Amino acid sequence: MNIKWRLTLWYVGVTLAIILALNISTYYGMRYLLYEARDAELEKMAANIEKRLNPATNRFEGLDKMPQFQQSQTSRYFHVSVYGADGKPLYRQSLSSRETFKVPLSNSGNSELHLLQEERVNLPTLEGNAREVINFRAMSRKVYNGQQFAGWINTALPIHDIENAMSDLFQTLLWGSLLVVLATGAGGYFLTRKALLPVREITQTARNISRTNLDQRVNIHNSRDELGELSVVLNELLERLQKSFNTQQSFLSDAAHELKTPLAVLRSHWEGELNNPDLPHNTKEKLVKDIETLSRLSYLINHLLLLSQTEEIQSNFKFDALRIDELIEEVVADAQILATEKEQVLEIVANNPFCIQGDRIRLYQLIFNLIDNAVKYTPSKGRIAISQKRTAEHLLIEVTDNGPGISQEHLPHLFNRFYRVDKDRSRKTGGSGLGLAICKLIAEAHGGIITINSEPGVGSSFCVKLPREMVSKAATGSAGSSA
């Protein structure tokens, strides 16, 4: 999971925790306040009844004439009952006379609250005559006439309105929380995406930077924030890398140019000396060996010149239509002498007639380097096969040998410059460590890639994949004209 989604989930999680804490406190706080208000009503009712206690007779008088009872009987239902000191009922409000309320009498000197669930029939405030279970909040309170115990007052009020209000509040909080969480998730995703936009730009810029465009830099939106400071540091690093790379490329190019001319002069001079009849035979043999050495040096210098090019490599290539099958046959014919010296079998196992757009000289160099590499490292009497075919997406040129193979730890570095798997054997075979790097450069210049599949003791297979848009099936007529 990327950091954008992780931050969004953190936003949602923290917001959800805060909302849950707020909703729980709101719900129970509101519940507490509503019950407090209802208990205050019960206390007020009991206090009004207590005022009806006649101290002289120690009896409650005129309860039916209380205005609260007269008004409440027409507006809502409630329960009032009064008991004497002997526990016998002295008064019951009209609803209480029809329905039995089991409100326990208080055993202490204070009011005792009870939550009762009673079953009522045909209550005045109910819709219709349906049977319904109604919860009541009840209070039992002892009454004293001075120091003399006078009896009990029991009062009860319904709490279905509180329950309905709390149910509505719960639904409101639930749906409100859901909407807030969804809004927070969307807002968190938007803000995270916007905040990480400079990081994506840095990543994209870094991914696009290569040896051909080291002058590209990261855009700095705000140099005073953390991402701006990171962009500045990366740009400074890229600046140092570009200077170092340019210095290296300039050195390679200058050194190659400086060496190329003296080597050409020496080779021309020694080749002329071979025609001198006064030179002894053994001296001429030494000159031949020196000329071969100069040829190898010239070959290495040409590779260095190609690798030292810092501009777009395609600008140095000449792309024309060519028959890839004929080019492969030409390369194999020229490389046959190398395989014959080691008694190897060099053969083309598949070579379909295709036309492509490419640089003939560079593609010749690419295929020849792969075959030459296979010849060098395949033992005597080995077999090297070349195949060429077209798939739905690529043109594939494959060079396979049954040589010693390459260990897996070497494969990621095989196309690096001057990298050698076996340095001792490379010196004996004359390898410079640049051949495969040149092959990779040529393949990429044609929009393709080069891969290797190798297994120690079995052999190696190098595959050049060129994009399909560069390939067209060679027609019979065009084949004759391009031959």
Task: Report how far residue 246's alpha carbon sits from residue 270's, in angstroms, rounded to the nearest whole number.
Answer: 36
Is the pLDDT at 139 greater than 80, yes or no?
yes
What pLDDT, in 10s, does the model give residues 244-275?
Answer: 777 776 776 666 666 767 777 777 777 777 77
Q: What is the pLDDT of residue 24?
A: 93
Task: Report how far residue 215's alpha carbon sits from residue 198's, in angstroms, rounded to the nearest whole number.
Answer: 19
Q: What is the pLDDT of residue 72?
A: 47
Residue 140 φ then ψ, to 5°: -115, 130
What pLDDT, in 10s, does the model give residues 282-306?
Answer: 887 787 777 777 776 776 676 666 6
Q: Are 7 and 154 part of one and the same domain?
A: yes
Say how many C-beta atoms besides its own lie within 10 A of residue 330's C-beta.
15
Q: What is the pLDDT of residue 431?
A: 56
Average pLDDT for residues 168-190, to the nearest whole number? 89
Q: Are 130 and 246 part of one and the same domain?
A: no
Q: What is the pLDDT of residue 474?
A: 41
* Per-range mean pLDDT, top range of 60-64, 215-219, 361-365: 361-365
Q: What is the pLDDT of residue 30?
A: 93
Residues 6+ apart with CB under 8 A from 23: 173, 177
- Whether residue 154 lies inside any domain: the answer is yes
Q: Are 328 and 368 part of one and the same domain?
A: yes
Alpha carbon dihedral 359, 364, 367, 373, in 10-degree steps, equals -130
Average pLDDT for residues 446-471, to the nearest whole number? 86
- Whether residue 218 lies inside any domain: the answer is no
Domain count, the chain: 3
> Mean pLDDT in the chain?
77
What pLDDT, in 10s, does the model give residues 365-414?
Answer: 899 889 988 998 888 889 999 999 888 788 899 999 998 888 888 888 88
- The strands making up 345-351's β-sheet, listed across from edge to edge, are 345-351, 383-390, 394-401, 459-467, 449-455
Using pLDDT thresholds of 50, 70 and 90, give the confidence band for residue 122. very low
Say how many C-beta atoms besides its own lie within 10 A of residue 364's C-beta.
18
Using pLDDT thresholds of 50, 70 and 90, give the confidence band for residue 77. low
Q: Are 281 and 324 part of one and the same domain?
A: no
Q: Are 274 and 331 part of one and the same domain?
A: no
How many residues make up the chain in this entry? 483
What pLDDT, in 10s, does the model give residues 366-380?
Answer: 998 899 889 988 888
Is the pLDDT at 215 greater than 80, yes or no?
no
Q: Are 250 and 133 part of one and the same domain?
A: no
- Whether residue 209 lies inside any domain: the answer is no
- Whether residue 205 lies inside any domain: the answer is no
- Whether residue 147 lies inside any domain: the answer is yes
Task: Report how far residue 122's alpha carbon sits from residue 305's, in angstroms, rounded to the nearest whole number.
Answer: 106
Average pLDDT for residues 117-130, to the nearest whole number? 49
Lowest mean pLDDT: which of 350-359, 414-423, 448-457, 473-482?
473-482
* CATH number of the structural domain spanning residue 421: 3.30.565.10
Q: How far is CA 79 from CA 82, 134, 194, in A?
A: 10, 12, 63
- Whether residue 165 lies inside any domain: the answer is yes
> Which tops the pLDDT comparison, 329 or 272?
329
Q: Cβ distance 403 to 367 under 8 Å? A: no
Q: Are 268 and 390 part of one and the same domain?
A: no
* CATH number of the structural domain spanning residue 283: 1.10.287.130
Tokens representing residue 53 in the block: 């206690």
Average pLDDT for residues 225-239, to the nearest whole number? 81
Q: Are 428 and 287 part of one and the same domain?
A: no
> Which tops the pLDDT comparison, 482 or 83?
83
Q: Domain ends where: 283, 307, 331?
A: 307
Residues 6+ apart with CB under 8 A from 156: 42, 78, 79, 80, 101, 103, 116, 136, 137, 138, 139
Please give the residue range of the domain that contains residue 381: 316-482
Q: Are 392 and 457 part of one and the same domain?
A: yes
Q: Domain ends where: 285, 307, 329?
A: 307
* CATH number of the structural domain spanning residue 151: 3.30.450
Q: Are 159 and 261 part of one and the same domain?
A: no
Return left, alpha or beta for 479; rule: phi > 0 is left, psi -120 to 50 is alpha, else beta. Answer: alpha
Q: What is the pLDDT of residue 384?
A: 92
Task: Report how far residue 434's alpha carbon sits from residue 204's, in angstroms, rounded to the nearest whole number.
Answer: 30
- Whether residue 206 lies inside any domain: the answer is no
Nearest to 160 by CA among 184, 142, 135: 135
Q: Are 45 and 134 part of one and the same domain?
A: yes
Q: Domain ends where: 125, 155, 182?
A: 182
Average pLDDT for residues 160-177, to the nearest whole number? 90
Q: What is the pLDDT of residue 477?
A: 36
Q: What percent of the chain has pLDDT over 90?
A: 12
> Which tops the pLDDT comparison, 371 or 483?
371
Tokens representing residue 325 in the block: 């099958």
Q: What is the pLDDT of residue 481?
A: 38
- Whether residue 322 lies inside any domain: the answer is yes
Q: Are 413 and 467 part of one and the same domain?
A: yes
The predicted model scores a pTM of 0.47
